[in-house]
Amino acid sequence: MEKEFAHAVQVRAQRDGQFVFILDSSLPFQMILKYLEKRLEESNRFFRSAKIIIDLGLRPFRFDEVVTLRDLLKNHWQAHITELRLGHRFDSFFEWASKLIGIPIYQIPVQEKEPEPVIIKQTCRSGTRIEAPQDCVILGDVNPGAEIIAGRDIIVFGVLRGIAHAGAYGNRESKIWALSIEPSQLRIADLVAIPPRQDRSSHTKRYEIAEIRDDQIQVISF
């Protein structure tokens, strides 16, 4: 039995002199309590008047269990719980708090902030490889031999002659924008295209966009 709950409570010392008691999430509370009583008896008053942090880890919050731990530490060793740390399971805590104040409590998921666009303020020369988790903006040309990879759109304020891969994580709504698109290869999501060489001398345009239409990459001039 002793081996079964040998790690029922892990004890760690902090630099500020406090102790952290980390409770095993897989054991019944009575086994946690039995182990803790035994550990405190064997400590030869080591924890007397100590300041202790209770870390529940993955254990659900139970008000009666916390009170029992508080009373055990206080009555036997005059130790004090200075902090209670909850893990990833907050439902039981919210349920207790709701009953305490008589108001329902709900947790709103925190939305992660999207990564900022990567902005390159120069021409990308041969051998350059740029990877961006979101949009990628190039303030210059993309020369042959350069490669631009972006999770979403690629915007080139210049001539695109290298390799461009937009929607690298599979987003087919992504686009490739450039003043002129003359690449060695275009990729959007899972599609690949090599646009044919065209005589652009007689064609006046402001910019071009490569996007997926009819399940293929098309370059549209504006």
Check which CATH number belongs to the domain holding 187 and give it.
2.160.20.70
**pLDDT grade, residue 9 (50/70/90)?**
confident
CATH code (residue 43): 3.30.750
Q: Does residue 150 fall inside a structural domain?
A: yes
Per residue in 66-94, pLDDT (tens digit) is: 999 999 999 888 999 999 998 766 888 88
Q: Does residue 111 fall inside a structural domain?
A: no
Domain ranges, residue 57: 3-101
Per residue in 31-51, pLDDT (tens digit) is: 999 888 888 778 767 888 899
Structure tokens that stand for 170 in this block? 């599979």
Q: What DSSP element (H or E) covers 131?
A: strand 129-132
Q: Look at the chain and report how many structural domains it folds into.
A: 2
pLDDT confidence of residue 40: 78
Q: Which residue has the tokens 């698109």?
A: 181
The answer on 124 and 57 residing in a single domain is no
Per residue in 131-153, pLDDT (tens digit) is: 998 999 999 999 999 999 999 99
pTM here is 0.52
Amino acid letter, residue 3: K
Q: Which of 101, 135, 163 is the last residue of a domain?
A: 101
The answer on 142 and 52 residing in a single domain is no
The answer on 143 and 94 residing in a single domain is no
CA-CA distance, 29 to 179, in Å (whole number)? Answer: 67
